[in-house]
C-alpha cells in the first residue's frame, strides 16, 4: 500500500475523535441517529463497491442485510427467549443451538451472506445490465419470501424482538471506520483497479486478461460480507426485526445514498449517508400537520417519502454525477496542493 | 387432480395470466423502444385502479365511466412520467434512466399514499361480478370469463395498430434502431409518447381487473404485480408483444396450478416468477420468443 498522506491521517484521527467524544456531545436521540448513520455507512459503502466501483447494477442488498440481521439476532437470543418468541412453530434445532457472542455472531452473519453471494454469482453474472438489475431484485425478493415462509427459523411475518442491545457508538462507529478503510484499500488495490476496469468497459477488461467473472464475484462477496455485518448491527440497534424491514425500500434508500453522494466515491457515500439518514429524520416534520403561510394542513403520513423520491429524480435529472462524482476528499486536497 | 378441477384451474390461470400479460405488454414495448425497465409501469396500473376507485366511490360514476376515467388518468400519468423524468435523459447512460424510473415508482406510490391515506381501500364492483356461474361441475365467476375475452380483444387491436398502421411501423422501427430512424425524420419523442399511451391504457385496464378480482387496493399493490409482470415479459422474450402475452399466461397458469397442487407451499407462489425467470435466463438469455438485442449494458 502507498504511504498514507497527511490528509488521510487527519481525516482518520478526526473521525475516531468524533466517534469517541460523541456520547458527551449528543443526547439520546442524537446518538440513535448517529448509530443509524454509522450502520448505513457500512451498508452503503459495501453497496457502493458492487454498484459504484464495479458498475454492476445489483438491487439485492436488502437480502444480504436480512440474512445478517436474522443470524445475529438468533445468535444473541438465548434458548428460553427463543421458545417464548416463536409462536407459529417451534424453532428448528440448529436455531436453538445457535448461541454466539457479539463478534463471532457478526462474523458469522458476514460469512453466511458471502457464501450466499458466491453461490448467486454464477447465475447472476451470466446476465448484464438491466437483466442483472431484475435478477438481483428477484433474489432480494425471494429471500424475503423465504423469511416469511420459514417460521421455524425466522418466526415468520411476526419477526423477532427483544434482541439484546449490546452495542454502542464505539461498536457501530468503529466498524464503520474499519469498513471504510477496508473498502478504500480494496479500491486502490490491484483488485480495485480491475473492478473499475470492469465498470468502464467490460469487454476491454476481459480482452486485457482480467477474469471479469472472478472480479465481479470478489466484489459481490466482499460487499455481501459487510452487508451481513451491517445487517447484524441494524438488528441489534432496532432490537426488533421482521421481514417487512428488508423490502426493496431498504435497497432504495441505499441507492439514493450512493447516487446522491456519487457512484464510486467513498467520501460521497459518507456524505450521502449523513444527508439521507440525517435528512430523513429532519424531514419528519413533513409527516406531521404543516403550517404553510399560516394555513394549517392535516397530517400527511408519507409526504416525507414523496419529497425523498422527488429528490432522487431531481438529482438524476440535474446532477447525474452526485455530490462527489467519482472523486474522493483526498483528491480535492491533492489538487489544491498543486 | 380430476378433469373438472383442472379445467377450473385452467380458466383461473388464464384469467390471472391475462392480467399479467396486459402489464407485461407495457414493459416489453417501453423496453423495446427505450431499453428501459420502466419500474414505474406497475404503479401506473395502481394509479388506474385508484382512479377507478375514486371515480366510483367519491364521484359516483358507473363502472363504465370509471374505466374511462381510469384510462385517462393513467395515460396522463404515463405521458407525464415520460416527459418529466425520462425525456431529459434520452442521451444519458442507461443506469441514470433506470434509477430515475425507480424514483418515479416510489414517487407515484407515495403520492397516492398521501392522497388516499394509508388504509387499504376496498373496491366495490357492481353486483354483477358477485354471481357464480356453474358450467358442468365447475363454478366460475363472471370475472374469469370477461377478463380473458377483453384481453384478447385489446390484444387484437394492439396487433392491428402495430402491424397495420403508420404508427405501428414507426414503433417497430424505433425498437429496431432508434438513432437511424430518428435521423430519417421520424419524430421519436412522439412515437415514444404513443408507446407510453398504449402501455398506460392497457395497465389501467389491468388495474381495474385486479381491483375487481382482488378488491383490496393499496398504494404498493403494483410492486409485486409489476415485478412478476416484468418477469413474465422477460420470460416470453422482452421486446416481443406476443412473447409478453405468452409469458403472462405461463406465469398466471403456473401460479394457480402450483397453489392447487402444493397448497402447503402456497406462501412461496410469489417467488415462482423469479425462479422461472432465472432458469430461463440461464438457458436462453433472450427469453422464449426473444429478440436478440445487442449485449445489454449501460
pLDDT in tens, B109-164: 999 988 888 788 888 877 777 777 777 777 778 888 889 999 999 999 999 998 89
Tell whether B96 lies on the interface with A, counting CB pairs under 8 A.
yes
Which of A123, A248, A306 faces B278 most closely, judged by CB atoms? Answer: A123
Pick the closest to residue A222 from A17, A48, A41 (CA basis): A48
Neighbours of B263 (CB within 10 A): 8
Prediction ipTM score = 0.79
In Å, the largest CA–CA distance within chain A is 66
Nearest CA in chain B to A199: B298
Distance between terminal CA atoms of chain B? 48
Q: pLDDT value at position A338? A: 43
Pick the closest to residue B95 from A184, A251, A287, A56 (CA basis): A56
pLDDT (tens digit per residue) in B209-237: 999 988 889 998 888 888 889 888 888 88
Distance between terminal CA atoms of chain A? 23
Distance of alpha carbon B101 from alpha carbon B95, whole angstroms: 10
pLDDT (tens digit per residue) in B163-182: 899 998 898 888 888 888 88
Pick the closest to residue A313 from B225, B108, B63 (CA basis): B108
User: Which of chain B's residues have a Cβ under 8 Å away from the Cβ of A206?
Assistant: none
Which residues contact residue B154 at a Cβ distance below 8 angstroms, ignoring those fewer than 6 apart?
A: B22, B202, B205
pLDDT confidence tier of residue B295, bands split at 50, 70 and 90: very low
Q: pLDDT value at position A295? A: 65
> What is the percentage of chain A residues whose pLDDT exceeds 70?
92
Distance of alpha carbon B98 from alpha carbon B39, whole angstroms: 8
The mean pLDDT value for A122-134 works out to: 80
* Interface touch A134/B277, C-beta < 8 Å: yes
Tell whether A158 lies on the interface with B, counting CB pairs under 8 A.
no
Q: pLDDT value at position B298? A: 30
User: Which of chain A's residues have a Cβ under 8 Å away from the Cβ of B36?
Assistant: 130
* Interface touch B277/A130, C-beta < 8 Å: no
Q: What is the DSSP string of A120-185?
A: HHHHHTTS-HHHHHHHHHHHHHHHHHHHHH-HHHH-GGG-B--------HHHHHHHHHHHHHHHHH
- The HSE-up count of residue B174 (CA atoms within 13 Å, CB side) is 26
**d(CA A101, nearest CA chain B) in Å:** 33
CB contact at 8 A, B78 and B197 = yes
- DSSP-based three-state secondary structure for A297: coil
Cα three-residue angle B279-B283-B284, rounded to 5 degrees: 105
Pick the closest to residue B282 from A218, A57, A215, A124 (CA basis): A124
* Interface touch B282/A139, C-beta < 8 Å: no
pLDDT (tens digit per residue) in B237-271: 877 888 889 999 999 988 888 888 888 787 788 88
Mean pLDDT of chain B: 86
Distance of alpha carbon A68 from alpha carbon A82, whole angstroms: 18
Mutation site for A-interface testing, chosen from B102, B116, B231 by largest number of A Cβ within 10 Å: B102
Neighbours of B277 (CB within 10 A): 25
Tell whether A308 lies on the interface with B, counting CB pairs under 8 A.
yes
CB contact at 8 A, B14 and B148 = yes
Distance of alpha carbon B78 from alpha carbon B166, whole angstroms: 22
Distance of alpha carbon B179 from alpha carbon B284, whole angstroms: 28
User: Which of chain B's residues have a Cβ under 8 Å away from the Cβ of A141?
Assistant: 227, 270-271, 274
* Interface touch A317/B274, C-beta < 8 Å: no
* Interface touch B275/A316, C-beta < 8 Å: no
Distance of alpha carbon A249 from alpha carbon A246, whole angstroms: 7
Whether residue B297 is predicted with pLDDT greater than 60 in this model: the reply is no
- For chain B, what is the HEC assignment? CCHHHHHHHHHHHHHHHHHHHHHHHHHHHHHHHHCCCCCCHHHHHHHHHHHHHHHHHHHCCCHHHHHHHHHHHHHHHHHHHHHHHHHHHCCCCHHHHHHHHHHHHHHHHHHHHHHHCCCCEECCCCHHHHCCEEECCEEECHHHHHHHHHHHHHHHHHHHHHHHCHHHHHHHHHHHCHHHHHHCCCCHHHHHHHHHHHHHHHHHHHHHHHHHHCCEECCCHHHHHHHHHHHHHHHHCCCCHHHHHHHHHHHHHHHHHHHHHCHHHHHHHHHHHHHHHHHHHHHCCCCCCCCCCCCCCC
Which residues numbered 218-277 in A keep a CB inside 8 Å of some CB on B? 248, 252, 255, 259, 263
Residue whose entry in the numeric block shows the C-alpha cell 416534520: A285
User: Which of chain A's residues have a Cβ under 8 Å away from the Cβ of B270?
Assistant: 141, 145
* Interface touch B85/A252, C-beta < 8 Å: no
The mean pLDDT value for A98-119 works out to: 92
Q: pLDDT value at position A310? A: 87
pLDDT confidence tier of residue B45, bands split at 50, 70 and 90: very high
Which of B36, B234, B296 faces A128 most closely, judged by CB atoms? Answer: B296
For residue A12, what is its C-alpha cell? 482518520
**d(CA A147, nearest CA chain B) in Å:** 10
Which of A57, A148, A301 faces B98 most closely, judged by CB atoms? Answer: A57
CA separation (Å) from B199 to A58, A179, B123? 26, 44, 23
Distance of alpha carbon B52 from alpha carbon B73, whole angstroms: 9
pLDDT (tens digit per residue) in A204-239: 998 988 899 999 999 999 999 999 999 999 999 999
User: Which of chain B's residues have a Cβ under 8 Å away from the Cβ of A321?
Assistant: none
Neighbours of B259 (CB within 10 A): 17
Whether residue B41 is predicted with pLDDT greater than 90 in this model: the reply is yes
The mean pLDDT value for A265-278 works out to: 88
CB contact at 8 A, B224 and B102 = no
Tell whether A206 lies on the interface with B, counting CB pairs under 8 A.
no
Nearest CA in chain B to A149: B267
* Interface touch A308/B106, C-beta < 8 Å: yes
Beta bridge partners of A241: A160
DSSP A285: G
- Rg (C-alpha) for chain B, rounded Å, is 19
Tell whether B285 lies on the interface with A, counting CB pairs under 8 A.
yes
Which of B92, B106, B275 faces A309 most closely, judged by CB atoms? Answer: B106
Tell whether A26 lies on the interface with B, counting CB pairs under 8 A.
no
Amino acid at each position: 500500500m502507498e504511504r498514507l498522506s497527511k490528509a488521510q491521517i487527519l481525516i482518520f484521527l478526526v473521525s475516531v475523535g468524533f466517534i469517541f467524544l460523541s456520547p458527551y456531545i449528543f443526547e439520546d436521540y442524537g446518538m440513535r441517529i448517529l448509530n443509524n448513520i454509522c450502520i448505513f455507512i457500512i451498508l452503503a459503502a459495501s453497496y457502493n463497491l458492487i454498484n459504484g466501483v464495479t458498475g454492476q447494477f445489483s438491487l439485492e442488498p436488502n437480502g444480504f442485510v436480512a440474512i445478517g440481521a436474522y443470524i445475529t439476532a438468533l445468535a444473541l437470543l438465548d434458548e428460553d427467549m427463543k421458545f417464548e418468541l416463536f409462536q407459529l412453530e417451534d424453532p428448528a434445532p440448529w436455531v436453538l443451538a445457535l448461541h454466539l457472542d457479539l463478534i463471532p455472531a457478526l462474523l458469522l452473519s458476514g460469512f453466511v451472506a458471502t457464501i450466499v453471494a458466491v453461490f448467486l454469482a454464477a447465475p447472476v453474472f451470466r446476465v448484464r445490465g438491466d437483466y442483472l438489475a431484475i435478477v438481483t431484485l428477484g433474489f432480494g425478493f425471494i429471500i424475503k419470501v423465504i423469511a416469511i415462509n420459514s417460521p421455524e427459523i425466522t418466526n415468520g411475518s411476526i419477526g423477532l424482538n427483544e434482541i439484546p442491545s449490546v452495542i454502542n457508538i464505539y461498536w457501530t462507529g468503529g466498524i464503520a471506520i474499519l469498513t471504510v478503510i477496508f473498502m478504500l484499500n480494496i479500491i486502490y488495490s490491484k483488485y480495485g483497479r480491475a473492478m473499475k476496469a470492469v465498470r468502464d468497459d467490460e469487454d476491454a477488461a476481459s480482452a486485457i486478461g482480467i477474469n471479469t467473472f472472478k472480479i465481479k464475484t470478489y466484489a459481490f462477496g466482499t460487499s455481501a460480507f459487510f452487508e451481513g455485518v451491517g445487517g447484524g448491527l441494524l438488528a441489534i440497534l432496532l432490537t426488533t426485526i421482521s421481514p417487512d424491514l428488508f423490502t426493496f425500500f431498504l435497497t432504495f434508500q441505499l441507492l439514493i445514498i450512493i447516487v446522491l453522494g456519487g457512484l464510486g466515491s467513498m467520501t460521497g457515500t459518507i456524505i450521502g449517508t449523513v444527508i439521507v439518514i440525517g435528512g430523513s429524520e429532519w424531514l419528519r416534520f413533513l409527516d406531521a400537520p404543516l403550517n404553510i403561510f399560516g394555513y394549517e394542513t392535516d397530517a400527511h403520513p408519507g409526504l416525507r417519502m414523496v419529497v425523498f423520491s422527488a429528490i432522487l429524480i431531481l438529482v438524476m435529472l440535474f446532477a447525474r454525477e452526485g455530490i462527489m462524482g467519482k472523486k474522493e476528499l483526498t483528491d480535492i486536497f491533492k489538487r489544491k496542493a498543486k | 387432480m380430476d378433469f373438472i378441477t383442472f379445467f377450473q384451474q385452467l380458466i383461473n390461470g388464464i384469467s390471472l395470466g391475462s392480467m399479467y400479460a396486459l402489464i407485461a405488454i407495457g414493459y416489453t414495448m417501453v423496453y423495446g423502444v427505450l431499453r428501459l425497465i420502466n419500474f414505474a409501469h406497475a404503479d401506473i396500473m395502481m394509479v388506474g385502479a385508484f382512479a377507478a376507485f375514486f371515480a366510483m366511490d367519491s364521484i359516483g360514476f358507473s363502472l363504465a365511466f370509471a374505466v374511462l376515467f381510469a384510462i385517462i388518468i393513467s395515460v396522463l400519468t404515463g405521458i407525464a412520467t415520460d416527459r418529466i423524468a425520462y425525456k431529459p435523459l434520452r442521451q444519458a447512460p442507461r443506469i441514470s434512466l433506470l434509477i430515475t424510473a425507480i424514483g418515479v415508482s416510489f414517487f407515484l406510490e407515495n403520492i397516492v399514499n398521501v392522497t388516499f391515506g394509508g388504509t387499504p381501500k376496498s373496491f366495490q364492483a357492481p353486483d354483477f361480478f358477485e354471481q357464480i356461474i356453474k358450467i358442468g361441475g365447475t363454478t366460475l365467476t363472471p370475472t374469469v370469463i370477461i377478463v380473458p375475452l377483453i384481453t384478447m380483444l385489446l390484444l387484437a387491436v394492439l396487433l392491428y395498430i402495430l402491424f397495420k398502421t403508420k404508427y405501428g411501423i414507426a414503433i417497430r422501427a424505433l425498437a429496431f434502431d432508434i438513432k437511424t430512424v430518428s435521423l430519417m425524420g421520424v419524430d421519436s419523442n412522439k412515437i415514444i409518447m404513443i408507446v407510453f399511451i398504449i402501455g398506460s391504457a392497457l395497465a389501467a385496464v389491468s388495474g381495474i381487473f385486479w381491483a375487481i378480482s382482488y378488491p383490496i387496493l393499496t398504494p404498493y399493490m403494483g410492486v409485486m404485480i409489476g415485478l412478476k409482470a416484468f418477469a413474465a415479459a422477460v420470460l416470453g422474450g422482452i421486446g416481443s408483444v406476443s412473447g409478453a402475452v405468452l409469458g403472462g399466461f405461463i406465469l398466471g397458469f403456473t401460479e394457480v396450478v402450483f397453489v392447487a397442487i402444493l397448497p402447503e407451499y402456497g406462501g412461496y407462489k410469489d417467488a415462482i416468477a423469479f425462479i422461472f425467470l432465472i432458469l430461463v435466463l440461464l438457458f436462453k438469455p433472450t427469453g422464449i420468443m426473444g429478440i436478440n438485442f445487442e449485449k445489454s449494458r449501460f
